[in-house]
Structure 1
Amino acid sequence: MKKKLSIIMTAYNVADYISSAIDSVIAQTNQDFDLIIVDDCSTDSTQEIIRSYERNYDWIDVVCHTENFGVSTARNTGLAKADGELVTFIDGDDWVEPNYVEHFLSIFEQENVQMVTCGFFNENENGKVKNKFTKHKTSIVGRDEVVKQIIKMTGTVMGYTWNKAYVRSIIEENHLIFQTDLDLMEDQVFNVEYATLAKNFYLDNQPLYHYISRKDSITNRFAMENVRDIGVARLKVHRTLKESSRNEKDKI
C-alpha cells in the first residue's frame, strides 16, 4: 500500500549517527510514510546497520551504491524509488522531531500549496544550538518570495532540502534531478528549479529538524572545489530564474 510521504535518507560513512537518524523516523507520530535509505558505498559499518533496520521494518527500503557517486546521485536514486505523493529528504547524520511527518502531511492536507517548509536547529556535535528560535510564524507566499528566501544565506528556509516537503508529481513530470556535477549548493539549485515550477509555498519556522554541523563535513572544509561549486551553482540559479521569467512573459 502506497504511503503518503516518501522520506529519502542519504548515507555515507555515518555508522556513528545513522541509528539516531532512523530511530527518530521510527518515532514519528504520523506513520503514513515510507523510508528509502540510499547508501553511497560506505566503507564503515553503515550498510550493515541499515540492512538490519530493513529486515525489521517492512516500510524501510535500502539501496546501496557499488561506487561512491556523491549526495546528488544518492538523492536521485531515492527519487527514482519513491512512490509517495509527497517527498522529503533527511541526511543520515541528522535527526528529526517526532512531529516532523505530521507537520508536512497536515499542512498539505489543509492548504492548497506545492511546498511546505519547517524550521531547524543548527547544532554542533556537542548539541549546542547555534541559531535562535523566536516567535512562531507562518505564511503562504508566491514564487518570487520563496526564491528570495531559498537563495538567502540566513533565515529558516534557505537552500536545504531536509526542511522542505515537495509534490513528487511536479518533480517527476518536469524531470527534476539534483546536479551531479556539484558537491555544494546542489540543493539550492534544485529548490530554485522546483520553485519556478510550483505555485504556492507554505513557510513555517517551527524547528523540527536537527542539522548537526560536523567539523569534517564538506561545507566546513574550504577548498578551491567549494569556490568553483558556489560559482557554478549561482550561475545555474541565475539561468533558471532568467528562463522562468522569459517563459512567463511568453505566456502573456
Structure 2
Amino acid sequence: MFDVSIIMPVYNVKEHLPRAIESALAQKKVIGEIILVNDGSTDGSKDVCEAYAEKEPLLITVINQENQGSGPARNAGLKAASGKFIYFADPDDYFNERLLADNIALAKKRETDLVVFGYTQEKAGNPASREMRLPNLPQMDTQKAFREHFRNMYHFSPYALWNKMYRKAFLTKHNITFGSQKQGQDALFNIEVYKHLDSLTVNRKPYYHYVTHEGSAVNRYRADRFKLELAIAQSFENLMETWEEEDTFSDLIAEEYFNVVYLETANLVHPDCPFTTDEKIDRLTSLWTEIGQTKISPYKKEEKNPFRFALLYELKAGHSRNALFLMKTRNQAAKQYTKPFTKIKTFFNN
C-alpha cells in the first residue's frame, strides 16, 4: 500500500500538465502513487499522461474515460486509490516537493482525518502576482472545537481540494464521494467532509501554487449556473442545520446565497447570454424575490467589498437594471485595466 494517492483529473490541459505531473514525481521522502484520470481529452493530454506512465510504470496509473466532468473523474481515481491518504491536485497547477511528506507526517502525529495547509495564488504567466495565503486556525482535536472555529475555516478556501489532504479510511467510512454535476463538486464534497469531521490538523506553511487562467469555468456563461450554485448554498445551509448552528452562522448562510445571486448576475451580463435586456431584468428580479428577500437581506448586514456592497444595495432596493449595469461595467473595467493595475502593483511590491 502507498502512503498517499495523488488523484489528478485531466481534461484538455496539455500545455500545463507536464509541470503538474513533475511536481507529483518530485515529492520527497514519501511513497506515493499518481493516478491520472483522462476525462475524454481531445488536445493530446491523453498522450502526455501515457508517456509519463510509460516512464514511471510503478508510480503512475492512467485511467481513460469518456468526458463526464471532474467529479466522476475524481471518483474513478478514488476507486482505484490504494494510498492511506488522498491528495487531489489540479492539472494546471504545481506544488512544493515537501507537500506530501510534511503533511502526512502531521496527520500521522496528530491522528487526524484532514490536514489543511497554506498556498500561493498567482496568475498564469505573471509570477509577480503571487499572494501567499496561510490558514488562521488553531489545531482542533474535537468536533466541538472545529465547529467553534468554523468561521475562520470558512474564510480560508473552504471548498478547495488542493489545500487539503484527506485520510482515505475517513472518506470510505462516511461514503464521501463526488457528485456528477459539472461544477461545484469540490464544494459539495468538502461540505460532506465537514459534516463528519471530528478534528483538524493545520499546517501554516504554503505548499501549493494555485494558478488562475483566463477563460476559467467560472468566467464562462452557463445556462445551468444558478441551479449548480444554489445546490451548494442549500447544502451549506443543511450542514448548519445538521449542526444546529444555523443561528450562529446565519451570516455565512446568507453569504452563500448572495454568492448564488452574484454569480448569476455575472452570468446574465456575459456576452454569450441569450436573454434580452428585459428578460435579464425579470430573471434577476425573480431570483431576488425567491431567495434574496428571505435568505440574504435579513441576515447579511455587512459587506466590506465596495463593489459587492453597491450590488447588494441595488438588489435590496429592487433595482435589477442597475445591478446588471454595475456588473457589466465592472467586468468591462476589469478586463480593460487588469494588466495596467498588475504592473502598478508589481512596481510597488518591488
The bucket for the TM-score relative to the shorter chain is: 0.7 to 0.9
Match of 1:209 in 2: 208
Taking the TM superposition and a 5 Å limit, the aligned residue runs for 1:4-83 are 4-57=3-56, 58-65=58-65, 67-83=66-82
Work out whether residues 37 and 60 of structure 1, in 8 Å CA contact, stay in contact via their aligned partners in 2. yes
CA distance change for structure 1 residues 27 and 229 in 2, over 3 Å: closer, same or farther? same
| TM-score normalised to structure 1 length | 0.87
The CA deviation at 1:221 is 2.4
1:143 to 125, 143, 146: 146
| TM-score normalised to structure 2 length | 0.64
Work out whether residues 122 and 129 of structure 1, in 8 Å CA contact, stay in contact via their aligned partners in 2. no
Match of 2:173 in 1: 173
**SS at 1:61's partner residue?**
strand
Work out whether residues 4 and 84 of structure 1, in 8 Å CA contact, stay in contact via their aligned partners in 2. yes
Tell me the distance in 2 between the aligned counterparts of 1:34 and 1:72.
20
The CA deviation at 1:151 is 3.9
- Deviations, residues 53-98 of structure 1 (Å, cap 9, x unaligned): 1111111111011x21001111111111111111010011111111
Q: What are the ranges of 5 or more consecutive residues in structure 2 without an aligned counterpart?
A: 246-350
**SS at 1:38's partner residue?**
strand
Tell me the distance in 2 between the aligned counterparts of 1:50 and 1:134.
30
CA distance change for structure 1 residues 49 and 165 in 2, over 3 Å: closer, same or farther? same
- Deviations, residues 21-42 of structure 1 (Å, cap 9, x unaligned): 0011111112321111111000
**SS at 2:132's partner residue?**
coil
Tell me the distance in 2 between the aligned counterparts of 1:198 and 1:244.
12
**SS at 1:205's partner residue?**
strand
Match of 2:104 in 1: 105
Tell me the distance in 2 between the aligned counterparts of 1:147 and 1:129.
32
The CA deviation at 1:114 is 1.4
- The structure that is strand-richer by fraction is 1
The CA deviation at 1:174 is 1.6
The CA deviation at 1:189 is 1.6
Number of equivalences = 240
Match of 2:279 in 1: none
Match of 2:159 in 1: 159
Tell me the distance in 2 between the aligned counterparts of 1:150 and 1:227.
25
CA distance change for structure 1 residues 135 and 163 in 2, over 3 Å: closer, same or farther? closer
The CA deviation at 1:122 is 1.3
Tell me the distance in 2 between the aligned counterparts of 1:150 and 1:223.
29
Tell me the distance in 2 between the aligned counterparts of 1:61 and 1:103.
24
- Greater radius of gyration (CA): 2
The CA deviation at 1:110 is 1.7
| Counterpart amino acid of residue 159 in structure 2 | G
Match of 2:190 in 1: 191
**SS at 2:104's partner residue?**
helix
Range with greater deviation from structure 2 (121-130 or 109-118): 121-130
**SS at 2:46's partner residue?**
helix
The CA deviation at 1:219 is 2.0
- Deviations, residues 93-114 of structure 1 (Å, cap 9, x unaligned): 1111111111211101221321
| Counterpart amino acid of residue 132 in structure 2 | F
Tell me the distance in 2 between the aligned counterparts of 1:191 and 1:135.
19
**SS at 2:210's partner residue?**
strand
Work out whether residues 121 and 210 of structure 1, in 8 Å CA contact, stay in contact via their aligned partners in 2. yes
2:228 corresponds to 1:229 = yes
Tell me the distance in 1 between the aligned counterparts of 2:126 and 2:29.
26
Match of 1:249 in 2: none
**SS at 1:195's partner residue?**
helix
- Deviations, residues 106-148 of structure 1 (Å, cap 9, x unaligned): 1012213211011111111113365633778662123315643
**SS at 2:42's partner residue?**
coil
Percent identity between the aligned chains?
A: 23
| Counterpart amino acid of residue 107 in structure 1 | L
CA distance change for structure 1 residues 28 and 127 in 2, over 3 Å: closer, same or farther? farther
